[in-house]
């Protein structure tokens, strides 16, 4: 009986099959190329998804006005309350953990992050109550019961358990803060251009709500977050009884000092009849100067920031490249002398 010939295994590096790893990397590269082609060819309007929220807000304002004007009816609340949020609110009230100041703070954080439904604040509070318990129990099971890391000492295990509890409590707040900071940065970039367009619309004779609508339409693709805020402000200007409330809602939704300055200017213009175009032109010039100063500040900080990477990564490579051949030549010379002398 002839022996079975085994095919030789492929080349290995540190015990890993090189051909298998190359195949996996080639598959990942092919998938990445397909995703890149899909993202490049399937360009969508960034305002299309946000238009649904704007339509819903318009319907809510219209329903509130119609209910208020109807005889014998009480004005409908504009908050989007559901049975689930009402049930959560009732349960939290029964536990005595719901405070008005806490709800207001979370509602403002939700608005800064781009969430329009203020009733989601009770959901965030519920998540801050449940997540520490869930993650703490999961960490206790993994660290103490299953002993997934048997080499850990008591301090490391307790630190992992405490970190899971803190992550569960601070997780929703950190998520909202990160999303709000990204959204605020996107709005700050497009605000000077939006003010320039508002100046042009004001000089052309458009009203404030028409100017906001026009600016939101023009800047919707370049700055979708800012376009959404301006479109929502235009809708509220058309439906709310006091226009000042629409401006204040804009300042409430955007965590940016420049937007508060614009809102103050618009409120003063509505109240005292001051010229809108000149005021907005001054604000636009100030915001552009501030943006230029921030860019110069980042450029001035660049040498100090690059010092550590330069010392740790770039200079050692330069030393090896420059002094390496000389060191090899000196080593060969000394080794040749030693061999000749022997």
The pLDDT tens digits of the residues spanning 292-302 come to: 888 888 888 88
Q: What is the pLDDT of residue 75?
A: 40
What CA–CA distance (Å, rounded) separates 156 from 175?
26
Enter the DSSP assignment of 17. E
3-state secondary structure 258-300: HHHHHHHHHHHHHHHCCCHHHHHHHHHHHHHHHHHHHHHHHHH
Cross-strand partners of 12: 17
Among 208, 268, 259, CA closest to 234 = 208
How many C-beta neighbours within 10 Å does residue 130 have? 11
pLDDT at 6 over 70: no
Instruction: Specify whether the CB–CB gap between 200 and 276 falls below 8 A.
Output: no
Enter the DSSP assignment of 13. E
Q: What is the pLDDT of residues 62-94, one digit of tens each?
A: 665 545 444 444 444 444 556 676 677 777 777
Q: What is the pLDDT of residue 5?
A: 46
Q: What is the pLDDT of residue 59?
A: 66
What CA–CA distance (Å, rounded) separates 272 from 267?
9
| Residue 159, token pair as written in the block | 């630190």
pTM of the full structure: 0.65
Instruction: Specify whether the CB–CB gap between 107 and 118 falls below 8 A.
Output: yes
pLDDT at 100 over 70: yes
């Amino acid at each position: 009986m002839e022996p079975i010939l085994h095919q030789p295994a492929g080349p290995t590096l540190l015990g890993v099959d090189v051909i298998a790893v190359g195949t996996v990397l080639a598959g990942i590269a092919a998938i990445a190329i397909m995703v890149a082609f899909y993202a490049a060819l399937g360009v969508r309007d960034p305002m299309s998804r946000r238009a649904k929220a704007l339509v819903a807000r318009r319907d809510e304002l219209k329903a509130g006005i119609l209910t208020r004007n109807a005889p014998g009816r009480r004005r409908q609340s504009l908050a989007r309350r559901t049975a689930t949020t009402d049930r959560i609110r009732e349960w939290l009230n029964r536990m005595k953990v719901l405070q008005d100041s806490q709800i207001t703070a979370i509602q403002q954080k939700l608005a800064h992050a781009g969430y329009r439904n203020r009733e989601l604040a009770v959901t965030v509070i519920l998540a801050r109550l449940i997540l520490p318990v869930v993650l703490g129990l999961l960490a206790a099971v993994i660290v103490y019961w299953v002993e997934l890391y048997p080499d850990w000492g008591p301090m490391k295990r307790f630190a992992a358990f405490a970190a899971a509890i803190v992550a569960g409590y601070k997780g929703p707040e950190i998520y909202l803060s990160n999303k709000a900071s990204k959204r605020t940065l996107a709005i700050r970039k497009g605000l000077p251009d939006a003010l320039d367009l508002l100046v042009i619309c004001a000089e052309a004779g458009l009203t404030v709500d028409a100017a906001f609508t026009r600016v939101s339409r023009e800047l919707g693709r370049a700055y979708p977050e800012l376009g959404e805020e301006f479109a929502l402000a235009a809708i509220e200007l058309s439906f709310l009884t006091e226009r000042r409330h629409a401006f204040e809602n804009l300042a409430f939704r955007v965590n940016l000092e420049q937007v508060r300055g614009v809102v103050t200017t618009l409120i003063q213009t509505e109240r005292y009849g001051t010229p809108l175009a000149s005021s907005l032109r001054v604000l636009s010039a100030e915001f552009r100067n501030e943006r230029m100063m921030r860019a110069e500040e980042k450029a001035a900080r660049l040498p100090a920031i690059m010092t550590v990477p330069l010392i740790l990564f770039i200079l050692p490579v330069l030393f090896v490249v420059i002094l390496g051949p000389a060191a090899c030549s000196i080593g060969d010379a000394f080794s040749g002398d030693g061999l000749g002398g022997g």
